[in-house]
Amino acid sequence: GWSHDNNWLVSSSEDRTLKIWSVSSAEPALCLGKEIFHKSIRSAQFYYIDTFILLSCGAEFYLLRYYLDTSKDEIKRYRTKSICRSIQKFPMASTVEITSLSAVNDFYSYIVLAAGSNRALEIFDLNLGCSAAVIRDAHSRSVHQICQNKICLTSNYSHSSFSNFFEGN
């Protein structure tokens, strides 16, 4: 997915790699390899207005902090100074694999939605660092995609209007 400023693209693959690309370069600014992730990376996206990367791998998703350095030293051309480290991982309850992951990147939101191979949808509150709700048997088969609406910050809707869904009111 694209970064908030549309200058970066994050990609993930069945080969267990994650790459971050600049729109101005054909070489990735950051590449995390197979040695870090135990299964294929199903989804990856920028999160919290580009502060973090969210990615799903197996039955859990990771919150990663990253730093991208695009400066190049001609002597050490192939050595990147970009870094990435795992902040926390969140397991989805009783599933084999997360099939879809969704979070808003256009404004600060703690809500992350995950869908699993067990047909469940799970809502995580990253501010609290835990699962907030589980919708079991959301579909008759595995969920392939979940999306969140982007809320216009200048709209007339109150914050409580959107919180009601997550609180079950």
- Tell me the domains of the chain and their CATH numbers: 8-71+79-135 (2.130.10.10)
Q: What is the mean pLDDT of the chain?
A: 88
Distance CA 85, CA 53 (A): 10
Computed on alpha carbons and rounded to an integer, the radius of gyration of the chain in Å comes to 17
Q: Please list the residues that pair with 21 across neighbouring strands.
A: 9, 28
Higher pLDDT, 61 or 165: 61
Name the nearest CA neighbour of 98 among 72, 141, 61. 61
Q: What is the length of the chain?
A: 169
Distance CA 120, CA 140 (A): 10
Tell me the pTM. Answer: 0.84
Q: What digits encode the pLDDT tens for the residues 34-57? A: 889 999 999 999 999 999 999 999
Distance CA 155, CA 169 (A): 21
Residue 167 predicted with pLDDT over 60 = no
